[in-house]
């Protein structure tokens, strides 16, 4: 059995394995009820807590992202972009990533692969570095 703390509106405020002293300040206005461990409200509350505490998706700015590489490798990418529309396009797309570059996005992986294919000094390790969280 578990104890479910409820807000005045009936929403779940918390879950506890033991009965709480509801006269304590942190529980003002709340009530508690004993429920089965598999009660749907406990499951929903736990899922919500996991989502709320999940780390944000890694999104470096374009500058932070490129600075993962040495200056020589950055310059090689820029030099290639001057004559290669595919690389230039991927750099424009990266630069336009207003919320940052999502390194977990499959499209980002495609862009990194295209840049690596066009710029011989970009190694598999460099690709992994660019796609690391």
Residues 72 and 38 in one domain: no
Q: Which secondary-structure segment (H or E) carries 133? A: none
CA-CA-CA-CA dihedral for 66, 70, 76, 82, to nearest 10: 30
Residues 119 and 85 in one domain: yes
Q: Which pLDDT score, from 0 to 100, does residue 55 have?
A: 59
Residues 84 and 122 in one domain: yes
CA atoms within 13 A on the CB side of 56: 7
Residues 16 and 72 in one domain: no
Over residues 38-46, the mean pLDDT reads: 79
Q: Are 123 and 48 in contact (CB under 8 A)?
A: no
Q: Which pLDDT score, from 0 to 100, does residue 15 have?
A: 82
Last residue of a domain, one of 27, 53, 79: 53
* Per-residue pLDDT tens digits for 74-116: 999 999 999 999 999 999 888 876 678 989 889 999 999 999 9
pTM value is: 0.56
Query: How large is the angle between the packed helices 71-81 and 85-95, nearest 10 degrees?
Result: 120
Looking at the 3D structure of the chain, how many domains does it have?
2
Residues 79 and 127 in one domain: yes
**Degrees to nearest 5, angle at CA 112 with 111 and 118:** 90
More confident residue, 84 or 42: 84
User: Which range of residues forms the domain containing residue 92?
Assistant: 62-131
């Amino acid at each position: 059995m578990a104890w479910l703390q409820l807000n005045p509106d009936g929403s779940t405020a918390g879950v506890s394995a033991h009965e709480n002293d509801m006269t304590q300040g942190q529980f003002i206005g709340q009530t508690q009820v004993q429920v089965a461990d598999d009660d749907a409200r406990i499951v929903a509350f736990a899922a919500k807590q996991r989502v709320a505490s999940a780390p944000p998706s890694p999104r470096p700015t374009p500058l932070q992202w490129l600075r993962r590489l040495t200056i020589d490798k950055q310059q090689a990418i820029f030099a290639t972009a001057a004559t290669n529309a595919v690389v230039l396009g991927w750099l424009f797309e990266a630069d336009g990533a207003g919320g940052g570059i999502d390194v977990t996005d499959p499209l980002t992986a495609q862009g990194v692969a295209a840049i690596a294919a066009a710029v011989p000094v970009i190694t598999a390790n460099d690709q992994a570095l660019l796609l690391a969280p």
